[in-house]
Structure 1
Amino acid sequence: MITVVCCAFGLVIISSAVKSLDNSQKYIIVQSGAFAIGFCAMLAVSAIDYSKYGQYAKYIYIVCLLLLGATLIFGTGKEESGAKSWIRFGSIGIQPSEIVKIGFIITFAKHLSMVKNVNTKRNLFALILHLVPLVGLIMLQPDLGTTMVFLCIFAGMIFVAGISYKYIFSALILIGAAVPIVWKFFLKNYQKSRIIVFFNPESDPLGDGYHVVQSKIAIGSGRIFGKGLFKGTQTQLGFVPAKHTDFIFAVIGEELGLIGCIAVIALLFTLVVRCIYVSNSSKDKFGRYICVGVAFMFMAHIFENIGMCIGLMPVTGIPLPFFSYAGSSLVTNLIAIGLVLSVQKRCRVISL
């Protein structure tokens, strides 16, 4: 029910965001179609015992690699403005990395469930090796935002699995040491620019800092109760870029104010808490790790999207779950909920 409310709420916000755009009805139809497909997929996934997915983990992992490999060959998108992460069939486009998130959660959950102790060097190396090929292919697109989501899912799942704090601190040190190497050899110019502007958006208010500056103006102008749906000046006059996709939270802040922002955050985090609750009730480790992976996937998207809209995170093009206009993301998120529902249906029975 929380998921359906989020999707319905998101469709209303998208309707306001695209009101001033040409052929605005197209966006509503596409998002509604994605919801219909995703909802049916969610029911289908939840109807199947989640343990069945674990039996095909190896094949799912291979499919994930093939999808990401195909994206590098056939992918479209302008590198100066983002990653080449879409595969298009005429007017229809899919983002394979979104589907791979689900595949990674299933396969990594299965891998973790078979490991008795994650703190042995051999097991930890095998778990890292599970992640590296997928992240490596995504970085080649290049898609920094999606890479961050995969790292968050990985970190959250091994944390719940009981990773030792000595490894956590070691990882933080290695990340710090790797930052200058990644900056020099792996990040594209537009990605560097986004990070630089993140620290001071006002340094380039008409260039790379424009998105964040306009987003902050929109959210701030909404105050407590907002200007009302379809009445936001920054939104309706087109000052907020990507207002129906990456910066949908700016529309919420301007038109529904602080009250609307709190309502959206409350809905999304209630969903995350429910995923964690189901994980604690799971009859086995595999189901538990699936729910944890889904919860951390949502948390990564929520923190990054809202953070970039208010200037606390770099702009990476990560959509807000269930609210941003993003067909592939919406279908993926609904399938993820289907996995959690599958675990919930088969939770252990508690004797009173």
Structure 2
Amino acid sequence: MLLKKSFGRIRWKALVQPWQNVDWWLFVLPVGLTVLGGVMIRSVEMNQGWTDWRQHWITGGVGLFLALAIARWRYDQLMQWRWIIYGITNVSLLAVMFIGRQELGAQRWINIFGFNLQPSEFAKLGIVITIASLLSERPASNIPVVIRTLIITAVPWTFVFLEPNLGTSLVFGAITLGMLYWGNANPGWLLLLLSPLLSAILFNVFLPLWFVWIVLIAIVAWGTLPWYRLGTFAAVVINLISGALGFFLWGLLKDYQKQRLVIFLDPDQDPLGGGYHLIQSRIAIGAGGLWGRGLNHGTQTQLNFIPEQHTDFIFAAIGEELGFIGCFLVLLAFWFICLRLVIIAQNARDNFGSLIGDRRSVNGCIPNNC
């Protein structure tokens, strides 16, 4: 009898132990947002005969299974796989250019057994793991490490930009700058990296502010670069050239990319073209009021006034059908996820765990030994 009780305790301990160090907020909130996303996608597709909501939930279920499986691995083993992950990332992005499916003027998806996969989304995770592994060994406290990180990121970024996918390519830039900052890079260097782009914009928007910007960049370069005289001269020259090349760089962008960059300032200048999405989504969110019109009862969403509302503009459907309260709760959930990740990164016991934001690195435990 005693042996039977002891065996029962061992089985119960083996069942419970893997969950003892789970961050339940980071488990429940993403799952809840995934479920909500499927509900809202189903709502906007009710009158269109589409079934993207089913694929959404299937993909979410597969993702949850993979997340639980990966949680049982030692996260530090990812460091040994960094170049394999990096290679797979680039090969998948390159494959899009040859076998990818084109839609809405962009070639971004690969169809596998009826499911549309977007390799650029997986590439975000791949580049995070690669950069984190490199910066955990050599922090970005010197210029050569920063340059190496930029070169490594430039390869997948180029593939994404050529799809073309301007939004994801900008996300790649944000990921790289964020990880360099967390990897101990001087904030002044990050500002200098951004300066050519900002200089090109300011030169064509407001010339007096562009002159002020050049002076600011000279001050930052003088105070942060190790070879301050040559570095300051180079930074100023690069920004001068970037400003002059603003018109040329603008001409390289696709028409829809140009609209995306400027139309948000005044969508009413093209109400039936590039500004249509923004105007209709604004109407939908405003129509929702405080509590919303109710699930499946939004006029803008159910009558399909908002294009691409099951993907890019799903938040407009949330605003109309769930109201201000629904929008607030969704934004609060995302804010709390970000807060938890920052807290985890701050309290991690090793650099790699901090850079990837792994919960297990906080208490120094690993799977099967937590």
TM range (shorter): 0.7 to 0.9
Aligned residue for 1:195? 261
Aligned residue for 1:144? 166
Task: Show the 5 A alignment for 1:337-352.
Answer: 340-341=358-359, 343=361, 346-347=364-365
Structure 1 residue aligned with 2:126, among 81, 90, 103?
103
Structure 1 residue aligned with 2:249, among 169, 182, 186?
182
Using the TM superposition, give the Cα deviation of residue 82 of structure 1 relative to its aligned residue in structure 2, in angstroms: 4.3
Aligned residue for 1:39? 64
CA deviation digits over 1:227-248, x for unaligned, max 9? 1111111111111111111101
Aligned residue for 1:83? 106
Alignment partners' CA distance in 1, 2:363 and 2:55: 31
Aligned residue for 1:18? 45
Q: Are the counterparts in 2 of residues 215 and 240 from structure 1 also a CA contact under 8 Å?
A: yes
Aligned residue for 2:116? 93
Alignment partners' CA distance in 1, 2:342 and 2:355: 10
Task: Show the 5 A alignment for 1:163-174.
Answer: 163-174=185-196
Using the TM superposition, give the Cα deviation of residue 345 of structure 1 relative to its aligned residue in structure 2, in angstroms: 7.3
Using the TM superposition, give the Cα deviation of residue 138 of structure 1 relative to its aligned residue in structure 2, in angstroms: 0.8
**AA paired with 1:100?**
A
CA deviation digits over 1:91-128, x for unaligned, max 9? 32211111111111111100111114x23221111111
Aligned residue for 2:183? 161
Name the structure, 1 or 2, with higher relative contact order (CA <8 Å, separation 6+).
1
TM-score normalised by the chain length of structure 1:
0.79
Q: Which has the larger radius of gyration?
A: 2
Alignment partners' CA distance in 2, 1:188 and 1:108: 30
CA deviation digits over 1:62-90, x for unaligned, max 9? 11111111111222223xx3421111236
Q: Are the counterparts in 1 of residues 291 and 326 from structure 2 also a CA contact under 8 Å?
A: yes
Segments of 5+ residues of structure 2 without an aligned counterpart are: 1-27, 202-245
**2:138 counterpart of 1:115:** yes
**2:24 counterpart of 1:2:** no
Percent identity over paired residues: 34
**2:347 counterpart of 1:281:** yes
Classify the secondary structure of the residue corresponding to 2:106.
coil
Alignment partners' CA distance in 2, 1:13 and 1:88: 24
Alignment partners' CA distance in 1, 2:303 and 2:55: 23
Classify the secondary structure of the residue corresponding to 1:87.
strand
Aligned residue for 2:152? 130
**2:286 counterpart of 1:220:** yes
The number of residue pairs the alignment matches comes to: 294
Aligned residue for 1:334? none
CA deviation digits over 1:311-330, x for unaligned, max 9? xxxxxxxxxxxxxxxxxxxx
Using the TM superposition, give the Cα deviation of residue 178 of structure 1 relative to its aligned residue in structure 2, in angstroms: 4.8
Classify the secondary structure of the residue corresponding to 1:244.
coil
Q: Are the counterparts in 1 of residues 55 and 115 from structure 2 also a CA contact under 8 Å?
A: no
Q: Are the counterparts in 1 of residues 181 and 187 from structure 2 also a CA contact under 8 Å?
A: no
Classify the secondary structure of the residue corresponding to 1:56.
helix
Q: Are the counterparts in 1 of residues 350 and 361 from structure 2 also a CA contact under 8 Å?
A: no
Using the TM superposition, give the Cα deviation of residue 166 of structure 1 relative to its aligned residue in structure 2, in angstroms: 2.4
**2:290 counterpart of 1:267:** no
**AA paired with 2:289?**
R
Q: Are the counterparts in 2 of residues 49 and 342 from structure 1 also a CA contact under 8 Å?
A: no
Alignment partners' CA distance in 1, 2:287 and 2:309: 15
Alignment partners' CA distance in 2, 1:347 and 1:223: 47
Alignment partners' CA distance in 1, 2:186 and 2:362: 29
Classify the secondary structure of the residue corresponding to 2:108.
coil
Alignment partners' CA distance in 2, 1:269 and 1:82: 33
Alignment partners' CA distance in 2, 1:188 and 1:210: 18
Alignment partners' CA distance in 1, 2:343 and 2:73: 20
Change (3 A) 1:59 1:90: closer
Using the TM superposition, give the Cα deviation of residue 342 of structure 1 relative to its aligned residue in structure 2, in angstroms: 5.1
CA deviation digits over 1:212-265, x for unaligned, max 9? 110000001112111111111111111111111110100111111111110000
**2:274 counterpart of 1:204:** no
CA deviation digits over 1:159-211, x for unaligned, max 9? 122221321332232222455243222x1122113323222211111112111
Classify the secondary structure of the residue corresponding to 1:77.
strand
